[in-house]
Amino acid sequence: MRMSPKGLPNGYEKLMTYWSCKYGNKACISEGVKQFSKWRLTRNNLILKTPNAYCSGIYDGGKEEWDFLWMVYEATTDPTETAHILDALGCSRDKEILKGYLLKVIEDDVQIRKHELERVFVAVSKNVGVDLSVDFLVENFEIINARYTSKSIAAVISGLASDIGSKEKAIQMKEFLQDREEQLSPSKRAVEKAIETIDSNLEWSEAFLPVIESWLAQNYS
């Protein structure tokens, strides 16, 4: 029987298990890959016992699997289903695929819905790509700012702020927010909150990261 990590706030055990699956728990990924493979052949959604199967299929697969799921996204109109798919498309371990995913938010021939902008950034960020997401936002802000609403951009900033855990990225993000203060003025409260979140998360990481690493080593090594 696995023990909860001592010292962590209540409710973090389920979150820890979820992330350990995404980061390589063989039994979890294997089952998800089987479901994804069968679903890809039959398109029978009853095969997918959990939306995490999408993620496992992309995590274990390559560009062929990614392109297939993107094609499904383009043909899907159900909001819940599109949300699951957009989340899963960020599960790739291939940084070039993830960069290509982010590029789709600024490509002229791709129609990412405005309210889905945050989901794309956060899908990449919550996998292993927070650095990619922050860099992409900073480098392509002018295009993104011209194409999307201030509400969508505020959601991206808030989402990324929640995932930043390194001092380097925290400094980069905070400098970006300060440099773009005038352009981001419609999202002033979101920017202020993002800076608070970044600072708070850094404090949390310093306090609990050693506990998390120890628990993962004991339970999933």
Rounded to 5 degrees, φ, ψ at 144 are -65, -40
Please say whether the beta carbons of 108 and 145 come within 8 A: no
Give the span between the Cα atoms of 74 and 86, in whole angstroms. 10
What integer pLDDT is reported at residue 3 of this predicted model?
47
Give the span between the Cα atoms of 130 and 88, in whole angstroms. 15
**Mean pLDDT on 165-187:** 91
The verdict on pTM exceeding 0.75 is yes
Q: Quickly count: other Cβ atoms within 10 Å of residue 167's Cβ.
A: 12
- Percent with pLDDT over 90 in the chain: 48
Give the span between the Cα atoms of 163 and 20, in whole angstroms. 16
DSSP strand E in the chain: where? none
